[in-house]
Amino acid sequence: MPLKYKRILLKLSGESLMGKQKFGISADMLQHYAYQIKELHDLGVEVAVVIGGGNIFRGIQSEGSGIEEVTGDYMGMLATVINGLALQSALESRGVYTRLMTALKMENIAEPYIRRRAIRHLEKGRVVICAAGTGNPYFTTDSAAALRASEIGANVILKGTRVDGIYTADPEKDPTAVKFDRLTFAKVISLGLTVMDMTAFTLCQENNMPIIVFDINSPDNLRRIVTGEPVGTLVE
pLDDT in tens, 90-109: 999 999 999 999 999 999 99
Q: Where are the domains of the chain?
A: 7-235
Question: 121-125, 149-153, 172-176, 180-184: lowest mean pLDDT where?
Answer: 172-176
Nearest Cα to 203, choosing from 215, 214, 195, 192? Answer: 195
Neighbour order of strands in the sheet with 111-112: 111-112, 98-102, 127-131, 46-51, 7-12, 156-161, 211-215, 233-235, 182-183
What is the pTM for the complete model shown?
0.92
Residue type, 205: Q
pLDDT tens column, 218-228: 888 999 999 99
User: For domain 7-235, is the CATH number 3.40.1160.10?
Assistant: yes
Question: CA-CA distance, 102 to 148, in Å (whole number)?
Answer: 12
